[in-house]
Every structure is written in C-alpha cells, then in structure tokens.
Structure 1
C-alpha cells in the first residue's frame, strides 16, 4: 500500500483530528475554552446534551436570559461575534435539543426569536444582518413546530402572534410553507375561530397558512372585498376555484374582476375610455374556467388568444398536446407565423429561439432585420446558434449587435464591437455577402453622436 503523504496528514479534517486521540483533543478543547468564552459555553452545552434534554435546556436558558437581559450597545466591530453566538445557540436548539425533546426545543426557539426586538434596538446593524439572521431561521421554526405537533405548537405560536404580531407575523408567514398541514390548520382555527375577520398583517399570515392547509375558502375570505374585483386578484381566485371543480363560483369571480370602462370625467369633459386589456393571469384563469365548465372549444380559443397576445409558451404547449397528429403540425405553423410577424420583433424572435424553431427564426431575422433590437442580451447567443445552418441570419444579428453597442456607449462596447466586426466579416465572406462596406458606414454613423458628446 502506498504511504500516505505528509501533507495529507497535516490537513485540518475530522479524520486527522481523530488520529490525535481523545486525551490530546480534550486538552486542546480545554485550552480553547480557557481562552474563548464562546467555546466554553459551547462545550458546556454539548456536555449537558450528553446528560439529557432538561440539562441542555437549562444551559440554553442561561445564555438566552443573559442575551435578553443585556442592555449594552453592540458596535459594528462586535456585531459579527454576536451574530455568530446567536447562530450557535439556534443551531444547538434545533439540532440537539429539539431532536431530543421537541417541546423543550420549540420553547427555547421561541425565546430565541423573542430576543430580536431588544437586540434590534441596541445593535449597530446598517446592513440588516441581524434581521436576515432571524428571517433566515423561519424554516427552522416551522420544522421544529411541526415536530412538536399541533397540540403543542399551535397555542405557543398563536400566543406569539397575539402579543408580537409585527415580527411573528413575518416569521410565521415566511415559514408557512414548511409547516405540517395539521399544524397549519390548527393555527388557522386559533386565529379565526370566534374572532373578527383578520385584516392587515394578520390577514397576510392567514393567506399563507390557508395556502399550506389547502383551505381555499379561508384563503378567499382573507382577501379584502375591494381587492377581489381587481383583475389580477380576481383571476387568481377564479383559477383556484376552477381547479377545485367549482366552475360556477369561478365564473362569478372572473366576471367580477373583468376590466371595465374607465368612468367619464365629471362635467362631461372626457368621454368614457375603453377597458384596459386583461392581464395575462386573467386570460390564463379564463382558460381554466372554460375547461372547468366543459367548454372545450371556448378553452381552445382562449388559449390561442392568450398565446397570440403574449407569446406565452405554456398555453400553446397545452393546446398542441390536445391535438391529434398532423393537426398539431398545422397549429405549430400558425403559431410560428404569428411569432414571426409579432409587433415586437425581438419578442417574436425570442419565442422562436426558445421553442426552438431555428429555421423559422432564421427566416424571420432576414425578413425583419430592421425591426430587431441588437441591444437584447440574448443576441450573441442567438447568433452563435444560427451561424451553422443560417449564417445570413447570424450575420444580421452580429451587425445589429455591433451597431447597437456603438450607439449605446463606445466605452462599453469597444472590444466587443471590434470582435463583432471581425465576426461579421467572416460570415459575410462565407456567404458571399457584399454589404460589409455598408455595415461599416452604419457603424461609423452610429458612433458620431457619441463622439460629438465627448467634445
């Protein structure tokens, strides 16, 4: 067997540290504990954990009480040390104590979160690192509470919400997706039952919990009445109702949120304006409602309308999947032709490249060269994908990119423009294109406004 290199033995790793032996490691840890109070506390907690959950909880309480009772201002120099201490305490609560006794772990984790208001008032934290530390622990709160179960966790979290809604509403809302379904339902019952309809921040918490619990009616009830007639929100209500098989209610929600005429100005100074076009999610919801109603043709027409207006891939793919052989080919030809003639040429090209429909994309680029925006970030990638089989289209894109960068800022596009000019020359020579001189003149013309601005 080959001898292990000396450098490998010196690498700081768990395996190499184990090789030092128990006595040597114990001596080193005692030495560190004598020099670092944080290490001393950590070792005491680890020793307490070996005895049992109650002993570890007692050690944690000592540290939590010290942090809660301190009134000392924390400077930016001391902030990293405090944040590391808080993270260590949280990790021991979650990974050690909660694993042994979920109830004790949840109690201490709630106490840990309750440190935030006092710390926020005395820690110099311009970057918001303290808030991020607590917000980032929301998922651990959800996991620990779920481990404790609804009977234990629900009363604790409801009390926290009732007494400190501002912070706890945010933490529970952030962690709602990680709660067990039974716990989310128990929290909803505790928040809603026998109480006025929630508003403000509490309503947002209810929405997140109802989402997690799969309680559609509670989710809808948490939305303000005036919001339900807004197209974006009404569409989401309708979509969810349609997916739940409640077609009649879905249609009512959709129609209630349909964009309407803008009222005429008072004193007759302005005629009523036509309603704005529905947003994309409203059109998507309309498809779902028509499908829930069993209107196959209406749903198909609505999917086409949605695609033709937005070039969204999802409704087109859904429509193609429902068509028989050969019918799907005809439908794709129709879709590609629509994209090629779309008012926003760059958006149309983006659709064709992403599908992908490279032949149609290449033809479109050549046909609508003057309509494309060379400044689009994807243009270099598109050109590289087209240059193999569609070099003429790639040449158009390379030239448009060079002109666009020159018009934007010469200092930004200098080296890239030079590379694009060389690439354009190579492509032009490959396909026998004679427009290189005209391209160079266009590039020179694009640079003149920038140069005049430098004088």
Structure 2
C-alpha cells in the first residue's frame, strides 16, 4: 500500500495560494475558532484599529461566560487567550501602544473569571496571564500613560486579585509609574488600611454562607483580608521604590525574627550596601541548627559575613551548612575560596561526608551533581541498595542515566527500585515506565560480569512474575515492548 503524502510546510506551499485559501475558508465555515483566528490575522496585518476592536469584542464575550471549562474546553480557551494576547502584544502594540495597554488590562481582568471556571492544576492557563503581566511593563512604557491614572487602575486591580494574576503588577509597572505614581499608590494603600471595614448586612452574610459565625466572623475575615492586601501592596511599592525601610516596616518586630523573613530583609539591605544591619537582622533570627537548614537564611548570612570582610566566618558557615544539607553550591563556593591544592583534600572530605550521610536519597542528589564522585556513587548504590527509594523517580532516574555507561550494575539497581515501588504500590499509571525500565535492565545485564549476591536479570524477572503475575495491565505493557 503506498505511503500517504507527508503533511508539512513544503507540501502545503506546493498547493498554491488559491487552493490554500479555499481550504482555509472551508475550515473557517465549519469551525468558529478557526474563523476568529483568520479574521484576527487579517485585521492585524491591515488595520490595528480593526484588530483591537475584534480583540475587545472577544474578551468581552469570554468575560460574560459562566460555564465550567472541562478538559477539552480548557484547551480551546488556552488557544483563544494565546491568540488574543499575541495580537495585543504584537501588531496592535507596535502600531498603537495606548490601545494595546488598554486591551492588556482588559485581558488581565479576565483572570479571575477564567481561572475560577476551570481546574488549572497544571498552571498552563495561569502561565498565559503571567506572561501578560510580564508584557505590561514594556507596553506601558511605550504608551506613556498618565502616572496617577495608572496608579489608580493598578490599585483597583491589586485589591481584586483573587487568583494572584496581579501579584507582580507593581514591580512590572514601577518604571511607567515613576516617583509620582508610586507615591500615589502608596497613599492609596495607606488610606485603605485606615478605612473601617463595614459590617455586612445579615442577608449578605447568610448568602455567602458564614453560618453561625454571623456578621462578626464575616467582618473579621474581610478585615484580615484587607490588612493582608495593604501589607503586600505597601511592600511591593517599597521594593519598586527602592525603599528598604518601607519594606521592613510592613513586618512586625516578632515577624522580623522569623528566619525566612529576616533573610528577605537582609537581601534587600545587602543590595543597599547596609551589611551591618543585614547581619543584625539575621543574628536576631538565628534558626534552630538542629533542624533542616532554612536555606534562604543560610545564604543571606554567608553573604552578609562576606560583605563585611569576615571571610573565615563565611567559610566556616558554608562548610557547616554543607555538612548538614549537602548543598553543592555552598561546597563550590567554599572550594573556590581555598588556596591552591587545599581544595582537593577538602573536596574528598566533602565526598566522604556525602557517602556517610543518613539519607541515601539526599546523598545521591549531591553526588550525582559532582562528576568526580561517580565511581563512589555507584559503590554507594550497590552497598546501600536496600535504602533506595523507588518513589523518588527523579533521583533514581537520574542515577540510572548517569551510571549506566560505566556502572551498569548500580544503574540496574536504581531502575529496579522504581519497578519494585510501582508494582508493590500498584501504580498503574507508571506501568509503561516500569516496563521500559525493565527493558533497559535487560540491555544493561549484557554488560554485567559479576552479580555477587544480587539476583541476575533472569532471576529478578522470575521473582516479578511470581509476585506480580496477576497485574495484567503491566504485563500487557511488557508485551507491547516485546518482553514476556
């Protein structure tokens, strides 16, 4: 039977413009989405005003919808939103930045509507709105809106930000806002924080479903939400203005003693050249060193010591933290600071610490990122094979890949750990992966000369058949790969 013609750009171009036009019109007649795309493309190439009108109309239609978006509809709305955003940020923005800016605001205001009507656990639709936020600054800079009007629009958007679409909007618009707009925005947030929160009427809180909590609960909830909005808004304005003290002022003294918050403050103080103050904040918030390190605090603490010229203390802090968490970036920084020839000995000490680390998974995370330790990593996998965590697909997969060329036995053990977990826990969604892992194991077995007390591939497969012979879906995947 002759092979069907390939559908690619070259084959389509061979049809000629007239035939392609006929086909597109036929498709457009039966598919409203394609028709919209074609009309928008034609308008964008000829008249930005007409294109803007089409985008505005389409965005208004989407805003009116209240239908929940199932999987197929999510894919359609994603394509639709992407097409509208491309038109706004492309041809419309190039010819009429002011119109593009207005449309971009209208687009972003769809966020709560669209995200509220679908399950966006993948984040793909949210990514479209985040991309739109990133485009907002350059388009606003080109449009040059009046700063006070921009500040007012931004304030309203930030205060009605149910799905986090506008989280970064102040930072993105810092330049077009300028000092005047940022000052006005700061004043609006301060005024909001001083305004009393009204107690909602009974019928309103009953409709919302606050139950026995009544209006008092509704009032407290609204007040808490407003305070949080004001705090985030003032922090964002302070950061956009380069006002470190304004940023710090949004945290109560007791909050400033939380290691993560102290690290945020210290990073901004360090950027402002205020290393002494940064170290003081960090010292007051020193975390419990018996627990897993708060890495943002550790990195900020080291940076503060280094900025103050306290290099020996910074080195000690790097090594101490590495011993506790095997952070490869800290070890590299530590080795870079050592005199010539001392780094080799220190590196070997670090690898020895990693090899003896209580958590094998954590040990592998570090060792796999350290090329000179590959042989020792393979030996570790073999010696501590009973501790391999097959549920850690990322780590075990990386181990198998990096060890397969020179250390097939260790790579096999990493693959087997994932297979064992998948079958023992009946993770049917991973049966295909498990079958492919076993296919790889079969290939690796041809390069293994000595198995020691580890079951050979044939013995391991016999154990799999004995223990999991009734998992028909798994064995079907095996047969699809030509394995029995």
- Given the two structures, how large is their TM-score scaled by the length of structure 1? 0.68
> What is the aligned partner in structure 2 of residue 140 from structure 1?
135
Distance 1:445 1:51, change over 3 A: closer
Please say if 1:307 is aligned against 2:307: no
Structure 2 CA distance for aligned equivalents of residues 423 and 381 of structure 1? 18
Structure 2 CA distance for aligned equivalents of residues 168 and 400 of structure 1? 43
Please say if 1:362 is aligned against 2:381: no
Contact 1:173 1:208 in 2 (8 A): no
Contact 1:406 1:417 in 2 (8 A): no
CA deviations on 1:64-107 (whole Å, 9 max, x unpaired) are 89759x97876879978888777666554443443333234323
Distance 1:308 1:410, change over 3 A: same
**How far does residue 310 in structure 1 lie from its aligned partner after superposition?**
0.6
Structure 2 CA distance for aligned equivalents of residues 448 and 12 of structure 1? 55
> What is the aligned partner in structure 1 of residue 102 from structure 2?
107
Distance 1:201 1:450, change over 3 A: farther
Map 1:228-239 onto structure 2 (within 5 A): 228-239=256-267
Structure 2 CA distance for aligned equivalents of residues 124 and 282 of structure 1? 36
> What is the aligned partner in structure 2 of residue 264 from structure 1?
none
> What is the aligned partner in structure 2 of residue 189 from structure 1?
183
Distance 1:342 1:154, change over 3 A: farther
CA deviations on 1:414-447 (whole Å, 9 max, x unpaired) are 746865875686455x13x442569998998899
Map 1:10-409 onto structure 2 (within 5 A): 11-12=11-12, 19-20=17-18, 59=53, 63=57, 67=61, 91-111=86-106, 113=108, 125-127=117-119, 137-149=132-144, 152=146, 155-162=149-156, 165-167=159-161, 170-175=164-169, 178-179=172-173, 181-183=175-177, 187-193=181-187, 196=190, 199-208=227-236, 210-211=238-239, 214-223=242-251, 225-259=253-287, 276=291, 278-356=293-371, 357-373=373-389, 376-377=392-393, 378-379=395-396, 381-383=398-400, 385-386=402-403, 389-390=406-407, 393-394=410-411, 397=414, 407-409=424-426
- Given the two structures, how large is their TM-score scaled by the length of structure 2? 0.65
- Matched positions, count: 421
CA deviations on 1:118-162 (whole Å, 9 max, x unpaired) are x67xx994446987765653333333222223x525523423524
Distance 1:174 1:222, change over 3 A: same
Distance 1:113 1:365, change over 3 A: closer
Which of the two has higher C-alpha Rg? 1
Structure 1 CA distance for aligned equivalents of residues 427 and 162 of structure 2? 51
**How far does residue 187 in structure 1 lie from its aligned partner after superposition?**
4.3
CA deviations on 1:302-335 (whole Å, 9 max, x unpaired) are 0001111110111111111112221110110111
Tell me the SS of whatever aligns to 2:368: helix
RMSD between aligned residues: 5.4
List runs of 5+ in structure 1 lacking aligned partners.
261-273
Structure 2 CA distance for aligned equivalents of residues 75 and 384 of structure 1? 42
CA deviations on 1:358-384 (whole Å, 9 max, x unpaired) are 132234345444444455434355345
Larger mean CA deviation between 312-321 and 225-234 belongs to 225-234
Structure 1 CA distance for aligned equivalents of residues 460 and 48 of structure 2? 79
Contact 2:148 2:180 in 1 (8 A): yes
Structure 1 CA distance for aligned equivalents of residues 407 and 64 of structure 2? 71
Structure 1 CA distance for aligned equivalents of residues 468 and 111 of structure 2? 53
Structure 2 CA distance for aligned equivalents of residues 84 and 127 of structure 1? 16
Distance 1:451 1:234, change over 3 A: farther
Distance 1:333 1:88, change over 3 A: closer
**How far does residue 200 in structure 1 lie from its aligned partner after superposition?**
1.7
**How far does residue 237 in structure 1 lie from its aligned partner after superposition?**
1.6
Structure 2 CA distance for aligned equivalents of residues 409 and 52 of structure 1? 56
Contact 1:349 1:361 in 2 (8 A): yes
